[in-house]
Amino acid sequence: LTKKKLKIPNIGWHNLVLSETHSSFKSVNFFKNFKTDDSFYFVHSYFANPSKKDLILASYNFGGHLIPSIVGKDNFIGCQFHPEKSGNSGLNLIKNFISI
């Protein structure tokens, strides 16, 4: 990845890249009906960078930087983006979360 100097806050739409660990996450139904071309709405000036990389379930490419966007452990799931503002893609994740 070519890394660029980035303007923050990051405001915009990005596609998620699922990590290899997402399929072993016990709440794998969280990603039911997920499509690689789904876009999610981000508004932030910071990001989580967990020391245990296997907690990262999805990331996104921001100017050549792979930024964690979904983390999960046990029965906890955290999103860096706003699913409630992400149209049908976000509503799908919310629906999946509720059904877990």
pLDDT, tens digit, 9 for 90 and up, residues 32-50: 898 889 999 999 888 888 9
pTM attached to this predicted model: 0.84
pLDDT tens readout for residues 57-80: 999 998 888 899 999 888 888 999
DSSP codes, 21-89: GGGGSTTGGGGTT--TT-EEEEEES-----SSGGGEEEEEEETTEEEEEEEEETTEEEESSBGGGSHHH
Question: Would you state the pLDDT for residue 49?
Answer: 86
Q: Please give the pLDDT value at position 2.
A: 65
Q: Is it the case that residue 20 has pLDDT exceeding 70?
A: yes
pLDDT in tens, 48-62: 889 999 999 999 998
